[in-house]
Amino acid sequence: MIVSASYRTDIPAFYAEWFARRLAAGYCDVANPYGGKPYRVALDDSTVDGFVFWTRNIGPLLPVLPRLTAPFVVHYTLTGYPRLLEISTIAAARAVAQMRDLAAVYGPRAVVWRYDPVLFTEELTPAWHLDNFQALAVALRGAVDEVVVSIANAYRKTARNLDRAARDHGFSWRIPEPGESTLLLAGMRDRAAAMGMQLTLCSQPERLIGGVGAAACIDATRLSDVAGRDITARVKGNRPGCLCAESRDIGAYDTCPHGCVYCYAVSGREAAQRRHAGHDLAGEMLVTRA
């Protein structure tokens, strides 16, 4: 079984101590985000084939990683977007340093760079994205071999939070049109390739172009490479077009206080901050309600 920690929240950045305690206990309970009873996920050595971590700051989890006996892959989101879109993420230089440190210790197959979601504003033009992407790719050369991108989707939470931020800060936003995304992805593809990286696109087969792969973010093959042995898992995506391997996610929505206004997993930062502040380090569950 592969454990995902977590595409619903940033466990490495905000819940590392809770995760460490649950790892020692050998299990955790997870609130069902769709209603129904909580479910238990085993975290013991005999059950877990690998971990996939999702984060914007791996720092708090670094002391825990040596305790893992199962292989792991870190999906590290780094966009370099302005503060009005990403309120409290760590500086790009610090994120790059963390990713390079991870690769130095665990190898470049253990780290995947995420540049997502891609959206347009008056400042975030196609030219801005290409220049920004190029600078980050240069900084990460040799540390990662894949960069996952996605074009923003107008999920309800995403649209509501972006609209609120746009009103508060006086900007407008939009999702790239198909023709625009084709040109942008081609430019990113070429810049990534020049830095030894494969550009892949997450769960958007209708936007794929030549030379851009379909991402499998929870990737049994990558985990196998990290482990040095075969890890098998059937493909069981979370939505149409998703090629992720089957996994159990141990996170909870509305618990990440980073404050990224485009986030699909948070209704509002204030609620996420309250839930984070109230979480029980010794609790079996990350939060007590879904």
pLDDT at 175 over 70: yes
pLDDT at 152 over 60: yes
Mean pLDDT, the chain, integer: 96
Give the mean model confidence (pLDDT) for residues 195-217: 98
CB 33 within 8 A of CB 290: yes
**What CATH code is assigned to 2-277?**
3.80.30
CA 72 to chain centre: 14
Q: What is the pLDDT of residues 3-17, one digit of tens each?
A: 999 999 999 999 999
Q: Whole-angstrom Cα distance, residue 241 to residue 233?
A: 17
CA 97 to chain centre: 17
Q: In whole angstroms, how far apart are CA 99 and each of 44, 145, 281?
A: 27, 12, 26
The pLDDT assigned to 36 comes to: 81
* pLDDT-derived band at 289, boundaries 50, 70, 90: low
Q: What is the pLDDT of residues 211-239, one digit of tens each?
A: 999 999 999 999 999 999 999 999 998 88
The pLDDT assigned to 24 comes to: 97
pLDDT at 249 over 70: yes
The residue extents of the domains of the chain are: 2-277
pLDDT at 274 over 90: yes
Q: Which two tokens stand for residue 122?
A: 């008056």
Q: What is the pLDDT of residues 86-145, one digit of tens each?
A: 999 999 999 999 999 999 999 999 999 999 999 999 999 999 999 999 999 999 999 999
Strand intervals (E) in the chain: 2-5, 27-30, 39-42, 50-55, 72-77, 111-118, 120-121, 146-151, 173-174, 198-201, 213-214, 247-249
Nearest 5 degrees, angle CA 239-CA 249-CA 265? Answer: 65
Q: Which two tokens stand for residue 9?
A: 């929240």
pLDDT at 290 over 60: no
Give the mean model confidence (pLDDT) for residues 265-277: 91
Going by the DSSP 8-state scheme, the letter that residue 90 receives in this structure is: P
Write down the residue that tokens 């839930």 correspond to. Answer: 275
Contacts of 277 (CB under 8 A, 6+ apart): none
Q: What is the pLDDT of residues 28-75, one digit of tens each?
A: 999 988 888 899 999 999 999 999 999 999 999 999 999 999 999 999
